[in-house]
Amino acid sequence: GQTSVLEGYQWEFNLIDDKQANAWCMPGGKVVVYTGLLPITQNEAGLAIVLGHEIAHAVAQHGSERMSQGLLQQLGGVALQIAVANKPAETQNLFMTAYGVGSNVGVMLPFSRKAETEADKFGLYFAAMAGYNPQEAIPFWQRMAAASSGGKPPEFLSSHPSDENRIAAIKAIMPQALKYYKP
């Protein structure tokens, strides 16, 4: 009953021959999947989980929100720069560095993690509505975690939830996602 939300999207799906295990979506519905992700998806349902996630980013307008947040972050930096303009250079640098780190760790990264969790949730719904078993998300994200297990930053320094938290959140919303699944 929400088809009007999709008006104006020009969906385009592209597969790029590249070893990266990644996918992304631009505002408006341009979706890219790299071939390096296909061994991790393993099957059509795994790919549906990825596509549902990327479609959810577009529908939730996460790209536009991220751009707006980035502009606000820059505006705050300019305001701070003006406010400390009469201070010594060392003081200015200290304030600007603290602002950059604080706004990233305290605002931008948590926003990105929240958007990822939201895309996981609605992506499951979309995959289920398309006839794919949303339970495939759990082994997919487990495979994704195993494939990228080296050198990850702590969650508070990442734009994505930790593998453990992502999988736990998916398990928690699975009963709701299964309501949309009609095999």
Residues carrying an active site annotation? 54
Beta strands in 49-165 (DSSP E): none
Residue pair 149/102 in contact (Cβ under 8 Å)? The answer is: no
Per the CB < 8 A criterion, the answer to whether 108 and 156 are in contact is: no
Angle between helices 109-129 and 44-59 (to 10 degrees): 120
- How far is residue 151 CA from its own chain's centroid? 19
Residue type, 128: A
Determine the Cα–Cα distance for residues 2 and 122; give it in Å rounded to an integer.
Answer: 13
The H helix count followed by the E strand count for the chain is 7, 3
